[in-house]
């Protein structure tokens, strides 16, 4: 793991070389929230532009979504998965994975405790575990809704009917990363799955009235910078409410465990460009960023992000939910994480937001008024 200080020193050293052309592109993104694929590719690939991008994204973050950081309590409720994603430790062929499935009472109890820690939202995440069919999961959702918590689901691909049932039971948001918008790469990395079905899931979720979160896994073998530029345009076109991106961290118990991992700096530039192009979106500082760099979440929160998802899973289950090695907080308790993140956010001069953190539409409203005035 690298230190935050070193990362900042590296980025500052390169910042002196930023060209006038790149500074003009960043200004354009800050003012218009639009860039072409070629412009995005140029900035994503530019080490020298990183600090200026982060500063512009931090201003846009302040202007559109404010200084509050939304904390969402993450409950990893099952490590059982029917899929076989090449990058993930929970893939079904990984015989070394230690599998567990929490029962309904335990999940509800973790949610109740999350409420007690002051989290207004819980994220229910798992492998694709079909034991949790519509009836079972809807029952859990209804019980958790009784605590007046917002609920985000992150349980993978299901039918439109199932998504409709979860929504009806009270689920508010859904997190499903597209991982990459490059169809051949997606289908190499997620054998047996189809890109068009993942895209269908995201469209169904949107039509059903969920707040939709998606995102990119940065550094997949064969992924190029223009592909990532196209990911950003895809999120802009679908008007994503939340975009979570993180570096690929190789897991030796997977077929691509020997490949190099994703780049912290590229992922940071991606976060900044996401803020510039989707100014109202909720953008988390992901756990994987901090797994790569100590205090990585502070760096990302200062580069455009406004959400953190502290773990509220208890005991040994944290370790067993092993997507990749080196996961942070496995020996900490939910109370440790709450205390830790509260202190760190305050030390940055930001504050923990107390509302449920639904997506801001203030910018859109302002734009409509402006457009109305021009018409």
Q: Which residues bind ligand SF4 (CB under 6 A)?
A: 81, 83, 85, 88, 90-91, 127-128, 156
Nearer to ligand FES, 256 or 285 (CB): 285
* Nearest in space to 253 (alpha carbons), one of 76, 79, 77: 79
Nearest by Cα to 248 from 309, 190, 165: 190
Residue with tokens 């519509």: 134
Which residue, 154 or 272, has its beta carbon nearer to ligand SAM? 154
Whether 294 and 6 have beta carbons less than 8 Å apart is answered as no
Nearer to ligand FES, 153 or 308 (CB): 308
Give, as ranges, the residues between 309 and 348 that touch ligand FES (CB under 6 A).
310, 329, 332, 336-337, 340-341
Q: Which does residue 172 bind out of ligand FES, ligand SF4, ligand SAM, none, counting CB within 5 to 8 angstroms by kind?
A: none
Q: Does 8 bind ligand FES (CB under 6 A)?
A: no
Residue closest to 150 by CA, chosen among 164, 170, 128 = 170
Q: Are strands 242-243 and 217-218 parallel, antiparallel or unpaired?
A: unpaired
Which residue lies nearer to ligand SAM by CB, 125 or 302?
125
Whether the Cβ atoms of residue 325 and residue 252 lie closer than 8 Å to each other: yes
For residues 56 to 95, the per-residue mask of contacts with ligand SAM, x marking binding by CB under 6 A and - elsewhere, is -------------------------------xx-x-----
Shortest reach from residue 149's CB to ligand FES, in Å: 20
Least separation in angstroms between residue 186's CB and ligand SF4 is: 12
| Strand locations in 8-82 (E) | 68-78
Per CB under 6 A, 42 contacts ligand SAM: no
120 lines the binding site for ligand SAM (CB under 6 A): no
CA dist., res. 281 & res. 358, Å (int): 9
Q: Which residue is nearest to ligand SAM (CB)?
A: 88
Tokens 């500074």 correspond to what residue? 23
Which of 52/328 has CB closer to ligand FES?
Answer: 328
Binding residue (CB under 6 A) for ligand SAM from 179, 182, 241, 298: 179
Q: Which two tokens stand for residue 132?
A: 């949790």
Min dist. Cβ of residue 336 to ligand FES (A): 5
Taking only Cα atoms into account, the Rg of the chain, rounded to an integer number of angstroms, comes to 20
Q: Which does 115 bind (CB under 5 to 8 A by kind): ligand SAM, ligand FES, ligand SF4, none?
A: none
The DSSP code for 101 is B
Binding to ligand SAM by CB under 6 A, coded x per residue (else -) over 282-321, reads ------x---------------------------------
279 binds ligand SAM (CB under 6 A): no
With contacts defined by CB under 6 A, name the span among 32-40, 56-64, 125-133, 164-172 that binds ligand SAM. Answer: 125-133
CA-based nearest residue to 348, from 52, 4, 2: 4
Pairing relationship of beta strands 307-308 and 68-78 according to DSSP bridges: parallel
Torsion sign, CA atoms 250, 294, 333, 126: negative
Nearer to ligand SAM, 60 or 88 (CB): 88
Q: How far apart are CA 190 and CA 176, in angstroms?
A: 14
Helix (H, G, I), strand (E, B) or coil at 158: coil
Among ligand SF4, ligand SAM, ligand FES, none, residue 91 binds (CB under 5-8 Å by kind): ligand SF4
- Tell me the C-alpha distance between 115 and 42, whole Å: 43
Which residue in 321, 257, 329, 253 sits closest to 81, CA to CA? Answer: 321
Q: By the criterion CB under 6 A, which residues form the site for ligand FES? A: 310, 329, 332, 336-337, 340-341
């Amino acid at each position: 793991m690298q230190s935050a200080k070193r990362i900042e020193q590296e980025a500052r050293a390169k910042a002196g070389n930023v060209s006038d052309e790149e500074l003009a592109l960043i200004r354009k993104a800050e003012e218009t929230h639009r860039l072409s694929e070629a412009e995005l590719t140029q900035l994503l690939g530019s080490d020298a532009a990183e600090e200026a991008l982060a500063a512009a994204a931090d201003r846009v973050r302040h202007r559109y979504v404010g200084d509050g950081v939304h904390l969402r309590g993450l409950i990893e409720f099952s490590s059982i998965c029917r899929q076989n994603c090449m990058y993930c430790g929970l893939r079904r062929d990984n015989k070394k994975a230690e599998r567990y499935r929490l029962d309904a009472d335990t999940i509800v109890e973790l949610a109740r405790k999350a409420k007690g820690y002051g989290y207004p939202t819980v994220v229910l995440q798992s492998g694709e575990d079909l034991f949790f069919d519509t009836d079972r999961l809807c029952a859990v959702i209804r019980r958790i809704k009784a605590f007046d918590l917002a609920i985000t689901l992150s349980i993978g691909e299901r039918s439109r009917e199932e998504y409709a049932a979860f929504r009806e039971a009270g689920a508010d948001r859904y997190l499903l990363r597209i991982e990459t918008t490059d169809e051949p790469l997606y289908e190499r990395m997620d054998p047996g799955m189809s890109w068009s079905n993942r895209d269908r899931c995201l469209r169904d979720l949107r039509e059903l009235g969920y707040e939709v979160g998606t995102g990119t896994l940065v550094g997949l073998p064969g992924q190029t910078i223009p592909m990532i530029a196209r990911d950003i345009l895809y999120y802009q076109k679908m008007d994503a409410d939340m975009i979570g991106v993180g570096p690929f961290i190789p897991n030796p118990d997977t077929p691509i465990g020997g490949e190099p991992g994703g780049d912290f700096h590229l992922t940071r530039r991606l976060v900044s460009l996401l803020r510039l192009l989707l100014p109202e979106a909720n953008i988390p500082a992901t756990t994987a960023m901090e797994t790569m760099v100590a205090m990585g979440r502070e760096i990302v929160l200062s580069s455009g992000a406004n959400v953190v998802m502290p773990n509220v899973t208890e005991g040994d289950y944290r370790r067993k939910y092993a997507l990749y090695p080196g996961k942070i907080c496995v020996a900490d308790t939910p109370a440790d994480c709450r205390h830790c993140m509260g202190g760190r956010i305050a030390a940055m001069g930001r504050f923990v937001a107390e509302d449920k953190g639904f997506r801001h539409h203030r910018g859109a409203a302002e734009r409509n008024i402006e457009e109305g005035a021009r018409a």
